[in-house]
Amino acid sequence: MQLSRNALQTSNTLALVFGHSHLRRMTSTDFRGFSFNVARSRRERIARIDALARLLDTAFILPGTNIRFGLDALIGLVPGVGDIITTAMSLYIVHEAHQLGAPGHLVMRMISNVTLDGIFGAVPLVGDAFDVVWRSNRRNMRLLQAWLDREDRR
């Protein structure tokens, strides 16, 4: 039952990240589920990058353990190009935070987290274990959410 629930949660996360809906047809302005002509609300953008962070860092559970990992660790197993791809995906989250109005010091801290993940993650095998522990995308989402909460209270 645990595996089924995790598989469902992961498929829901993928649907949110890639914008797929069973009732929605792809149009000529869509690229693999990303719609370029639809203005997204602030809440939708935050939910989308949060889902991407979850997919990259904690989407899966190692069977028989409580260890969570994501695509960052899996794609990072591909020497060289894997870490470049996941770093680019992580930088997309930082870009979205900047677009949401995050202050410069917060964006720089988020970039620092991604940089550490990219540098240490590039070390074969040890770097993949680091990706599982460090979870830079979840860290960045916590930083962004804390800033958003403070802004909402103002």
Question: Which residues share a beta bridge with 35?
Answer: 30
Instruction: Say yes or no to pLDDT of 129 above 80.
Output: yes
CB 60 within 8 A of CB 10: yes
Q: How far apart are CA 14 and CA 105, in angstroms?
A: 30
pLDDT digit string, tens, across residues 72-113:
999 999 987 999 999 999 999 999 999 999 999 999 999 999
Amino acid residing at 122: A
User: What residue spans define the domains of the chain?
Assistant: 40-153
Predicted TM-score of the model (pTM): 0.76
